[in-house]
Structure 1
Amino acid sequence: MTAPHTDVEQVEAANTAFYEALERGDFEEVASAWLTPADLGVDEEYHDPADAGVVSCVHPGWPALTGRGEVLRSYALIMANTDYIQFFLTDVHVSVTGDTAVVTCTENILSGGPAPAEGEELGPLVGQLVVATNVYRRTPSGWKLWSHHASPVLAEEDDDEDDDTPTPP
């Protein structure tokens, strides 16, 4: 097996583990999936890890978050306010160049919001289609997330033959 093929498999495994940790609500595992300043050789004794800006994240509809502290707080908030979430990843493509890897995928997400009041049932699950780009860096302990950017996919319009909108040539 060639090294590039092995790298692709390792990145795919790291990406899958990240989404599975989110599904389980395992904050510690989600946190361990992200780069730390030490992973990049930043001396945390002299640099505040929260301000080092080594990681970034954009959730659909959110502003860009920079720094490990902001990114991990966002995941803590999402997990605290979501009872159920499941990701069905499709269109997964992995590209590895040196110590950097890019994963693009479509996140087909099923989720249920905050916990219902006592005695109430969980409301209906909501489906969402999101495209994501996850950037990984190779570290001595494996591939770690460097950046996550996700954007919602707008619903496709039905092709209506009676539509008066001109079709581009």
Structure 2
Amino acid sequence: MNDPRALKATQALLTSADETEASFYDALRHGDLDKVMAVWADDEEIACVPPSAPRTVGTVAVRAAFEALLASGPVHISIEHVRRMETAVCAIHHVTERVQVMTPEGLQTAFVIATNVYLRTAQGWRMVAHHASAGMPQDIPDISEPRSILH
């Protein structure tokens, strides 16, 4: 489905930032480029920063980046340790992505620290930014540790 108008016609109304995020990662797990793009806002200022890659801005560039990512098939990805900051119209989620890749040495796990930004639009909650950086296993917080209070 390469016609953006046809894609927009098939988009579901996403009723929360959590639902949008779940749809995004589910689409990556299924290698479905159209569904990946269906969660993004229809705005030329959307931005994506993949780990170790340049920033892409705009729907055409973001689509091309995900098309390249999915060229080798679905992404075996799950998210952990979601931290949320939300208002009535904006949500920012900080997540740890666990990505598994089969290599000649066997199954390898990589950790990616990502920030996903969502806006409430007339079409429901849509992603406007995804910024990911390579992480390390020690980046995963120990949930048994008490959370500190800043003020």
Is the 1:56–1:146 contact (alpha carbons within 8 Å) kept by the matching residues of 2? yes
- Alpha-carbon separation, structure 2, partners of 1:126 and 1:56: 28
Give structure 1 regions of 4+ aligned residues with deviation exceeding 4 angstroms: none
Find the counterpart in structure 1 of residue 144 from structure 2: none
SS in 1 for 2:53: coil
Gap runs ≥5 in structure 1: 1-8, 38-51, 114-121, 157-169
SS in 1 for 2:41: coil
Find the counterpart in structure 2 of residue 86 from structure 1: 76
SS in 2 for 1:61: coil
Is the 1:85–1:112 contact (alpha carbons within 8 Å) kept by the matching residues of 2? no
Please tell me whether Structure 1 or Structure 2 has the larger radius of gyration of its CA atoms: 1
Is the 2:20–2:126 contact (alpha carbons within 8 Å) kept by the matching residues of 1? yes
Find the counterpart in structure 1 of residue 109 from structure 2: 127
Offset of residue 126 of structure 1: 2.7
Find the counterpart in structure 1 of residue 135 from structure 2: 153
- More strand by percentage: 2
Asked whether 1:24 is paired with 2:38, we answer no
SS in 1 for 2:106: coil
Q: 61, 75, 79: which is aligned to 2:66?
A: 75
- Alpha-carbon separation, structure 1, partners of 2:74 and 2:123: 30
Q: 53, 61, 74: which is aligned to 2:52?
A: 61
Offset of residue 111 of structure 1: 2.6
SS in 1 for 2:101: strand
Is the 2:110–2:136 contact (alpha carbons within 8 Å) kept by the matching residues of 1? no
CA RMSD between the two structures: 2.0
Q: 33, 40, 52: which is aligned to 1:34?
A: 40
Deviations 1:71-119 (A, max 9, x none): 11000011012x3422221110222123111011100111347xxxxxx
Is the 1:11–1:94 contact (alpha carbons within 8 Å) kept by the matching residues of 2? no
Instruction: State the TM-score, normalized to the length of structure 2.
Output: 0.74
Offset of residue 136 of structure 1: 0.4
- Alpha-carbon separation, structure 1, partners of 2:40 and 2:108: 27
- Alpha-carbon separation, structure 2, partners of 1:84 and 1:29: 12
Find the counterpart in structure 2 of residue 166 from structure 1: none
Count of aligned residue pairs for this structure pair: 124
Deviations 1:24-77 (A, max 9, x none): 01111111111103xxxxxxxxxxxxxx3x100000000111111111100001
Gap runs ≥5 in structure 2: 1-14, 139-151
Is the 2:28–2:74 contact (alpha carbons within 8 Å) kept by the matching residues of 1? no
Find the counterpart in structure 2 of residue 99 from structure 1: 89
Shift in CA distance, 35/112, structure 1 to aligned 2, threshold 3 Å: farther
